[in-house]
Every structure is written in structure tokens, then in C-alpha cells.
Amino acid sequence: MDRFIFTMIAGILAGFALLKVPLDIPFLSSFQTIITAIAIFAVVVFSFVLIYKAIMTLFGK
């Protein structure tokens, strides 16, 4: 497999891991919405890139 694909999968996994981070510390709890938004954005972007690359591979480009 291509290294690029492994990097995209790692980005998706990192986004999911960031969603599961406990933010019980008072300092971090103020950033909970920002961290959640970054995690969701990372998962969505990396997933779309993988889907795009898969479609381009299927059509031979």
C-alpha cells in the first residue's frame, strides 16, 4: 500500500482519539468545543481525501 494512505488513516484515527480525550482538568474543559470541532474536522477531511483517492484509483486516474 501507499504511504499516503497510511498517513490518511492515521489522521482519521488521531481525530477519533482526540474525540475520546477526557477533558476533566478545568484548564482544558474550556477548550472542549474547540478540540471537538478540530477532531471532527480532521476525521471528515481525511475521510474525504481517502474517498477521493479511491474514486480516482477506480477510474484509473
Query: Helix crossing, 3-19 with 32-58: angle to 10°?
Result: 150
pLDDT tens track for 13-58: 999 999 998 888 888 888 888 999 999 999 999 999 999 998 998 9
pLDDT for the residue 5: 86
Q: Where are the domains of the chain?
A: 3-58
Q: Is the pLDDT of residue 2 over 80?
A: no
Model's pTM, two decimal places?
A: 0.81
pLDDT at 1 over 70: no
